[in-house]
Amino acid sequence: MRSLLFVPGDSERKLAKGFEAGADRLILDLEDSVAPERKAAARTLTADAVRSAPVPVAVRVNALSSGLIEDDLAAIMPAGPAMIVLPKSDTGADVQHLSALLTVLEAENGLADGGTEILAIATETAASLFGLGTYRGSSARLAAMAWGAEDLSSALGATRTREADGTLTDPYRLARTLCLAGAVAAGAAPIDTVYTDFRDEAGLIATAKAAAADGFLGKLAIHPAQVGPINAAFTPSPEAIAHAQRVVDAFAAAPGAGVVGLDGAMLDRPHLVLAEQLLARAAAVRPPSA
Ligand code: COA
Ligand code: MG
């Protein structure tokens, strides 16, 4: 999943447009993009959209502590979403809690046991920064983890998340890094946060490329125009694929060697693992033009 596009769950127009955007995954939102008085209408609209969706979709429910998540899940699970996005997750125990709720609802709705995946948004509260090492082993459903800056900044009382030159301030760099390592440790895909300035394509491309270079496998999007640049940033380039293939070939040509030389540089086991991962990713994604 390179691009995951949020679509407000109470907007019929955006729900219709979302499917044309070319995102690898849509996240139909019942949480922050829906006003409290629109929650009930959003549940009905979103459940209908999940049912009629041409591809598997995700739904973001409200937080475990919101008092809304039980009604969200009761409305959505009969439609069989592929994935539930859990906002304001503090620790792996929150994922376990959601997983238990999903197990009951899958049984009640005749859905495959354990078939609903979870994406945890894992850096939205102050406490969550101390929980990023606890997701490993929490649930086989945990497929991805994303970080978020907007709710975290409001929790911390910060008036900014970036310096004037666009670089993240310390708390958000920490959240981003711990999310990346916590996700990889948990065997989940690390997903970069939204770029809220949706008219700034150059800024989006820079953050998406930096995230891909650091090891993130995808990025959240809030506007259809962000999908193309994000897909491109997370699709291995032909040059990167060719280089990875040469690394794999160099090791294949030297059976039993722990280390080989290529173009005057030393390559050992981590380089081979990286090259194999890149080739696997390239095989899994559609070309950027698709
Ligand atoms: N999904 C589907 N369609 C969307 C969309 C989205 N996330 N964002 C915009 N569109 C549609 C608009 O409806 C518009 O279509 P129309 O002209 O046929 O009505 C078109 O794309 C262009 O939109 P634009 O005018 O550039 O933006 P906007 O001012 O209408 O909307 C936002 C801006 C930020 C309100 C909108 O992009 C949005 O709702 N994003 C998702 C927000 C969200 O879910 N946040 C929670 C996660 S952080
Ligand atoms: Mg939020």
**Positions of the chain with pLDDT under 70:** 286-290
* Residue 131 and residue 156 in contact, taking contact as beta carbons nearer than 8 Å: no
Q: What are the CA-CA distances from residue 3 to residues 92, 213, 229, 288 (Å)?
A: 24, 16, 9, 12
Residue 166's pLDDT is: 86
Residue 286's pLDDT is: 53
Residue 284's pLDDT is: 85
CA 226 to centroid of ligand 2, rounded, Å: 18
Q: What is the DSSP string of 53-64?
A: -SS--EEE---G
Rounded to 10 degrees, the C-alpha dihedral 71/114/93/137 comes to -160
Q: Where are the domains of the chain?
A: 3-233, 238-285
Residue 84's pLDDT is: 98
- Residue whose CA is at the smallest distance from ligand 1 atom 45: 33
The chain-wide mean pLDDT, for the chain, equals 95
**Greatest CA separation found in the chain?**
65
Does 76 sit in the ligand 1 pocket, CB within 6 Å? no
Residue 11 CA to residue 152 CA, distance in Å, equals 26
Topology adopted by domain 3-233: TIM Barrel (3.20.20)
CA 109 to centroid of ligand 1, rounded, Å: 32
CA 222 to centroid of ligand 1, rounded, Å: 7
Residue 290's pLDDT is: 44
Q: What percent of the chain has pLDDT over 70?
A: 98
169-198 pLDDT, tens digit per residue, is 999 999 999 999 999 999 999 999 999 999
